[in-house]
């Protein structure tokens, strides 16, 4: 029977595709808990990545957003008292106004000047005759996690990453996932101009309703062979309790705050807990939703996270503060 005290890594997913990708990247899957506290509503997937025991939780079906993420994380931390690292891993919308962000890329929350890597963009205050003032910069992950991020970034810079190859191996081992989780063809990555709104029904595929007329599309160069493709980006992730689908607001936040990505759960965790957020880019945070890229983007985020965990020594974790202790401080 798995022992809750043996698990040091907590991994939270919001939707099914993220959860499947996380489970597929486990080196070993453990059995289920025989029991858990009565007030813990989560269902867990347990396993091992490298030398770390990992517990994975998914938010309740169709219950997305900040509150649901916070409740899921808090229940996990109470039930697994030795967790040292918290991860929010999955998909998000890219903000390509300033940076060459494309579908399938990965964004890793990284602290910068006056922010902890995640920014709650719907939290702030208004002052008469002045712009909305944002006050929602949140906690940053522990230093040892960000040291591992820096080390992995350097390794990728020197030698390139092997994330595509890792995904290929996963899909070879589980062919039933190939249709939903393999990388779509390049022509399915279309960046529409910011003022061009989805022209069909909300559920209608953009390739059919919006097309690919050059007048509506931002043309981008081919990535050179010496650049990683998909690419890994490090910086500010914007989080809120609503889906970002306004390309004009997207661009303003990208230009003003250097936001790289938008998502809906991380702020709920980082109000109280120092989680690292990893997002695979599945759309461009506009009206042109792109369901085709969700599976592959989830795989990319999970593959990156596995590489990151393999950079952290188990001995390092044992000297770090338990997440449960941080929770008690609130």
In a domain, 192, yes or no: yes
Q: How confident is the model at residue 116 (pLDDT cuts 50, 70, 90)?
A: low
Q: How confident is the model at residue 182 (pLDDT cuts 50, 70, 90)?
A: very high
Which of 214, 181, 210 lies closest to 286, judged by CA?
Answer: 210
In a domain, 141, yes or no: yes
| Weakest-pLDDT range from 31-40, 49-58, 185-194, 268-277 | 268-277
In a domain, 189, yes or no: yes
In a domain, 51, yes or no: yes
In a domain, 175, yes or no: yes
Strand partners, 119: 137, 238
In a domain, 226, yes or no: no
Is there a contact between 94 and 102 (Cβ–Cβ < 8 Å)? Answer: yes
Does the structure show a pLDDT above 90 at 1? no
% residues pLDDT > 90 (the chain): 62
pLDDT value at residue 201: 64
Mean pLDDT in the chain? 88
pLDDT value at residue 272: 62
CATH code of 264's domain: 3.40.50.1580
Burial of 130 (0-12, 13-18, 19+ CB in 10 A): exposed
Q: How confident is the model at residue 326 (pLDDT cuts 50, 70, 90)?
A: confident
> Which domain range does residue 255 map to?
4-221+234-315
Q: How far is the C-alpha of 162 from the C-alpha of 197, rounded, in Å?
A: 36
Is there a contact between 225 and 101 (Cβ–Cβ < 8 Å)? Answer: no
pLDDT value at residue 126: 37
Among 78-92, 186-200, 271-285, which range has the highest average pLDDT?
Answer: 78-92
In a domain, 325, yes or no: no
In a domain, 79, yes or no: yes
Across the range 232-250, mean pLDDT stands at 90
> pTM of the full predicted structure?
0.93
- Strand ranges (E), the chain: 9-13, 28-29, 44-49, 52-58, 85-94, 106-109, 118-120, 124-125, 133-134, 232-239, 259-263, 275-283
In the chain, the number of structural domains is 1
- 124-160 pLDDT, tens digit each: 443 334 454 444 445 678 899 999 999 999 999 999 9
């Amino acid at each position: 029977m798995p022992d809750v005290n043996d698990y040091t890594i907590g991994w939270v997913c919001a939707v099914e595709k993220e959860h499947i990708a996380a489970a597929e990247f486990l080196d070993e899957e453990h059995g289920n808990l025989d029991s858990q506290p009565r007030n813990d509503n989560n269902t867990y997937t347990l396993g091992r990545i490298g030398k770390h025991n990992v517990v994975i939780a998914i938010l309740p079906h169709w219950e997305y957003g900040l509150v649901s993420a916070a409740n899921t994380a808090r229940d996990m931390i109470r039930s697994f008292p030795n967790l040292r690292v918290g991860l929010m891993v999955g998909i998000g919308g890219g903000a390509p106004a300033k940076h060459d962000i494309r579908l399938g890329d990965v964004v890793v929350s990284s602290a910068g000047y006056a922010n902890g890597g995640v920014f709650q963009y719907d939290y702030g205050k208004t002052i008469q005759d002045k712009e909305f003032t944002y006050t929602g910069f949140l906690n940053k992950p522990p230093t040892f996690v960000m040291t591992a991020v820096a080390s992995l970034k350097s390794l990728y810079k020197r030698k390139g990453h092997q994330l595509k190859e890792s995904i290929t191996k996963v899909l070879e081992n589980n062919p039933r996932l190939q249709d939903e989780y393999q990388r779509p063809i390049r022509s399915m990555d279309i960046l529409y101009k910011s003022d061009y709104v989805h022209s069909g029904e909300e559920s209608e595929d953009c390739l059919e309703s919006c097309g690919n007329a050059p007048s509506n599309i931002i043309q981008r160069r081919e990535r050179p062979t010496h650049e990683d493709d998909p690419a890994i980006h490090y910086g500010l992730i914007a989080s809120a309790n609503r889906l970002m689908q306004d390309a004009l607001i997207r661009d303003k936040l990208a230009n003003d705050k250097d936001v790289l990505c938008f998502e809906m759960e991380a702020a709920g965790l980082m109000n109280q807990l120092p989680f690292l957020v990893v997002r695979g880019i599945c759309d461009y945070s506009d009206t042109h939703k792109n369901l085709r890229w969700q599976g592959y983007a989830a795989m990319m985020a999970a593959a990156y996270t596995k590489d990151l965990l393999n950079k952290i020594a188990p001995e390092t974790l044992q000297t770090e503060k338990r997440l449960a202790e941080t929770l008690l401080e609130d």
